[in-house]
Amino acid sequence: MELSESDRALLAGEQGAAARFAMGLLVRFAEAVGAPRLVDAECAHIDGCLYHGQVSLDFVEHLVALGGRVRVPTTLNVGSVDLIHPELFIGDPGLGTAGARLMRAHEELGCIPSFTCAPYQTLYRPRFGAQIAWAESNAIVFANSVIGARTERYGDFIDLCCGITGRVPHYGLHLTENRRATVVVEVEAVPPEWDDAGPACVAVGHAVGRRCGDRIAAIVGLPASATEDDLKALGATAASAGSVALFHAVGLTPEAPTLEAALQGGRPEETIRLAADDLRDIVRRLSTVPEGTALSAVSLGTPHFSVREFERLMPLLDGPAPAVGLYVNTGREVMAEVRARGWEDRLNAAGVTVVLDTCTYVTAIMRDLSGAVMTNSGKMAYYAPGNLDIEIAFGSLADCVASARAGRVVRL
């Protein structure tokens, strides 16, 4: 590898023992993936504050003991507990204590306590073209696709090494030539009964994940009304169902003003066509239970709810209180805006439990799992049956609120 003078200084320990330790691991990783050099990272996002065992804590506390500090703005993904509302955690007390300790250890390294899977909804959203070191599958695909920043699929420990050194391997999706679409996905028609682009984007995301794997898709024919939240849902579902780190939506994402631009002048190796019935079938299969099934909870915000999603939710809360638990996962920064708009009291009065710092599908928050759980998230629909050993129902945001009120699966 070609190392700069500053890289060599970090390896020599001139910036401290923690930076030397992190740089040593980063160089070995870069060599393993064939990166010829390192480049400056403008920011990092760390996935490793979700507790997966003692090794998670040992690694971070070792860096703390060595006096480590991050060198670039470094946000944090969800942890195992809601530090703002610790009473929500109903899992093993030892796990909760270790999880909170891990989250705070990251703060000691100078990381920003965002604790959100949607760092693009914070002040630390990167610019177009920025070289970044992000972990968390939906954050990676959103940064690459919707923002046009550049990151590979970094995982636990290497992401933190990038934050501490301020450097990132120059390979893979950091390079323009590796961001070319090789598969075209043509959406031939969207079911006319779907009155917004959300379900279509979830269905297309699932198809892209299952059929493209880690290949880059150029998607043609998405509704022009698709919002950033819809594209967020598409990417999160694609990254869950496959290994997608980047997609191009022609006319909607910054590196795909045209299909030719997304293909970088090349020819696709495959064209996948999705008819309206294909999209209906995908959405139907996201549910493991039929309409009318009794529910124990409804969970929204996977990835974390945005301000715009709260805007859509608020008018739906007019009417009777929900018959089952209604949970909304979001980040601290978005919640601050919710409070500023005076919505928190309305949410509380409507019986909504707002979850910060974590997510209902990765930790023990939902009080009752005796029945099915409903969600408008393709990501949760994909993961929750395995993570929580539950039946799942998928529906639109309006379907979810109506179902929470009815205590059973309702489709409007």
Compute the average pLDDT of residues 280-305: 97
pLDDT in the model for residue 227: 97
Query: Which residues have CB under 8 Å from 176's CB, separation 6+?
Result: none
pLDDT at residue 392 in the model: 98
What is 287-406's CATH superfamily?
Aconitase, domain 3 (3.30.499.10)
Return the sign of the alpha-carbon dihedral for residues 100, 103, 109, 111: negative
Strands 217-220 vs 183-187: parallel, antiparallel or unpaired: parallel
Asked if residue 372 lies in contact with residue 294, where contact means CB atoms within 8 angstroms, the answer is yes
Cβ atoms within 10 Å, residue 257: 13
Identical topology for domains 5-176 and 180-284? no
- The residue count of the chain comes to 412
Query: What pLDDT does 34 receive?
Result: 98
pTM above 0.95, yes or no: yes
Closest C-alpha among 231, 206, 393 to residue 303:
231
Share of the chain above pLDDT 90, in %: 99
Give the residue extent of every domain in the chain.
5-176, 180-284, 287-406
pLDDT digit string, tens, across residues 36-52: 999 999 999 999 999 99
Given this model, what pLDDT does residue 412 score?
Answer: 87
Query: What's 5-176's CATH class?
Result: alpha beta
CATH of domain 180-284: 3.40.50
Q: What is the tens place of the pLDDT at every residue in 199-240? A: 999 999 999 999 999 999 999 999 999 999 999 999 999 999
Mean pLDDT of 319-343: 97
Angle 235-280-303 (CA atoms, 0-180°, nearest 5)?
A: 25
User: Is residue 138 classed as helix, strand or coil in its secondary structure?
Assistant: helix
pLDDT value of residue 394: 97
SS3 state of residue 297: strand
Residue 373 parent element (H or E): strand 372-375
Residue 195 confidence (pLDDT): 87
> Which residue has tokens 């493991």?
288
